[in-house]
């Protein structure tokens, strides 16, 4: 009877500890994402120092660093990038990395810091260079290329950064990619070239730049 009673007490203690831990974690969970929304680096540091996992996803599967970049809550993003346990290559539910989002939003300082922290410049599928080209961020395009980004990287349907720049980006981005050696004659799985992307997007200046690049590479006498 005494042994039974002792085991019963132990189980009660474990239960109370578990409930207390779960409640504390629940509070930390809410506090973490609120701190990101408020761009409160001090609160985030306190939670991380208490052991909160920076890679914890929210209820929609989005991790804290991605959310900080999306807001943007740049002070919060900086804390998370600097934190040693943050996985800078963690993907969100759409397969996007923090580096991709920073490239899309033109957050050059954070792009540099993410690369230094080990962010994957050449992840499989859509890449940071695709995203930088889509928004026409020249400095980030150059930075990614300087860090060995593959200029003709193919998305899951074989779309290249040049194609994205041609349809959604800027003429300056198209010219930069061409100058750096992007292949204007590649086709995606729909059989479309960068020139056709530009034409479909009604980007006449980009189309002219691509056409001129193609002509310049043809042997003499061919048009």
What integer best gives the mean pLDDT of the chain? 89
Domain with CATH 1.25.40.20 in the chain: 88-223
H or E element at residue 144: helix 138-146
**CATH number assigned to the domain covering 1-87:** 1.25.40
Superfamily of chain region 88-223: Ankyrin repeat-containing domain (1.25.40.20)
Number of C-beta neighbours around residue 82 at 10 A: 13
Nearest one of 83, 16, 25 to 55, comparing CA atoms: 83
User: Average pLDDT for residues 215-221, to the nearest whole number?
Assistant: 71
Q: What one-character DSSP code corresponds to residue 52?
A: -
Q: Identify the pLDDT of residue 222.
A: 52
Q: Identify the pLDDT of residue 221.
A: 52
**Predicted TM-score of the model (pTM):** 0.84
Over the stretch 73-130, which tens digit does the pLDDT of each residue have? 999 999 999 999 999 999 998 999 999 999 999 999 999 999 999 999 999 999 999 9
Q: What is the CA radius of gyration of the chain?
A: 24
Q: Identify the pLDDT of residue 217.
A: 81
Q: Identify the pLDDT of residue 152.
A: 98
- Which residues are bridge partners to 63 per DSSP? 57
- Report the share of the chain in percent with pLDDT over 70: 85
């Amino acid at each position: 009877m005494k042994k039974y009673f002792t085991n019963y007490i132990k189980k009660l203690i474990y239960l109370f500890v578990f409930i207390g831990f779960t409640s504390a974690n629940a509070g930390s969970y809410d506090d973490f994402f609120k701190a990101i929304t408020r761009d409160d680096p001090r609160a985030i540091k306190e939670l991380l120092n208490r052991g909160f996992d920076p890679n914890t996803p929210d209820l929609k599967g989005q991790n804290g660093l991605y959310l900080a970049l999306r807001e943007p809550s740049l002070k919060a993003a900086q804390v998370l990038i600097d934190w040693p346990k943050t996985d800078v290559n963690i993907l969100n539910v759409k397969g996007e990395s923090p580096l991709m989002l920073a490239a899309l939003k033109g957050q050059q300082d954070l792009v540099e810091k993410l690369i230094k922290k080990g962010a994957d410049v050449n992840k499989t599928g859509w890449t940071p260079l695709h995203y930088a080209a889509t928004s026409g961020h020249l400095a980030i395009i150059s930075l990614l290329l300087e860090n060995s980004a593959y200029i003709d990287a193919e998305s899951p349907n074989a779309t290249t950064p040049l194609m994205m720049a041609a349809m959604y980006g800027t003429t300056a981005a198209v010219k930069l990619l061409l100058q750096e050696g992007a292949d204007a004659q590649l086709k995606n799985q729909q059989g479309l070239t960068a020139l056709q992307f530009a034409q479909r997007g009604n980007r006449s200046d980009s189309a002219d730049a691509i056409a001129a690049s193609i002509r310049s590479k043809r042997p003499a006498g061919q048009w």
